[in-house]
Amino acid sequence: MEHFVDAMKKYVDFSGRATRTQYWMYILIFMVIYIALAVLDSVLGTFFIAAIFNLVCLLPSISVAARRLHDTGRTGWWQLIILIPLIGAIVLLVFLVQDSHGDNEYGANPKA
């Protein structure tokens, strides 16, 4: 849960680096909360609770992905590759799962 809270605190911080653990734990907790809220929406017959949560988490999701890409030595603008159908999502996924590189222009290695 600390990785999710940390990403929410740094919701407009597009500088620095995020480790694989920080990024994927954020995504895991986001998905668990989103699924729980979607189930709650279906039980209550509403549609806006999960949508509001999704909107609230949009900027933190973009910023943590940018920091994750910085950790692999790429700029955060690589997230726009997702706009290319099918191939873009696969390439971005490969970039996000790669291991950290040593020190780079985005800062020191967070694992060190």
The DSSP string of 29-47 is HHHHHHHHHHHHHHHHT-S
Total domain count for the chain?
1
- What mean pLDDT, rounded, does the chain reach? 91
Is residue 76 included in any domain, yes or no? yes
The pLDDT-based confidence of 27 (bands split at 50, 70, 90) is very high
Is residue 60 within 8 Å of residue 7, measured between CB atoms?
yes
**Each residue's pLDDT tens digit, 62-112:** 999 999 999 998 999 999 999 999 999 999 999 999 988 788 888 878 776
33 within a domain of the structure (yes/no): yes
| CB-based contact 110:100 (threshold 8 Å) | yes
pLDDT band of 5, cuts 50, 70, 90? confident
Q: Does 103 reside within a domain?
A: no
pTM here is: 0.88
Would 111 be classed as within a structural domain?
no
Give the per-residue pLDDT at 16. Answer: 86
**Structural domain harbouring 87:** 2-97
